Amino acid sequence: MALSREQVAMRVAQELQDGYYVNLGIGIPTLVANYVPDGIEVMLQSENGLLGMGPYPTKAELDADMINAGKETVTAATGAAIFNSADSFAMIRGGHVDLTVLGAFEVDQNGNIASWMIPKKLIKGMGGAMDLVAGAKNIIVTMTHASKHGDSKLLESCSLPLTGVNCVKKIVTDLAVLEVKDGAFHLLERAPGVSVDEIISKTAGKLLVDGDVPEMVF
């Protein structure tokens, strides 16, 4: 079975390392804050000026002034700092973010990402995505493996306007974990109950499968 949004976030959280500064994009990436593994400390950054995001608040903890990039209310972790968005983007552009997790419409086998617009549809602008994919040391993309119409989102070449070039290192979809290197997708893990053949059929770009592919473990 395909992973739920929460399970995708849980799997991404396994990529966090102690001491990381991590930016979480809008959508599934924001859920990662709820699944930081025990025993490690990470500082979650929101480009609107919060460094040290905690998990989503309970009703008692809710503060309407404490929000993430998706305008959702969040909590502040111990040691958190609040500053203006100019300082936040200086941190991003200066290469001080270890990992960025963001969604995408398409990713191709060369690590290019299209995440900010679909032509002829209303858009609000690129936002911080271009800075994030250019400034972070590592990029992980979360998305569904295929569109609601069944079209693959993992392509030989992106068809939509690009957000960044040769920047995506790893992808966690509802079907698989893939690494992007040497002009191909490399299948690392598959969702429990999902076959390699299904993943192959839903990947339009070059996909390399080396031996037995383990199921994800949560």
Residues acting as catalytic residues: 47
Q: Please, are residues 180 and 169 in contact by the beta-carbon 8 Å criterion?
A: yes
- Amino acid of residue 168: V
Find, among 194, 142, 169, the residue nearest to 9 by Cα. 142
> Could you tell me the two tokens for 186?
């490399």
The span from the CA of 144 to the CA of 171, in Å, is 10
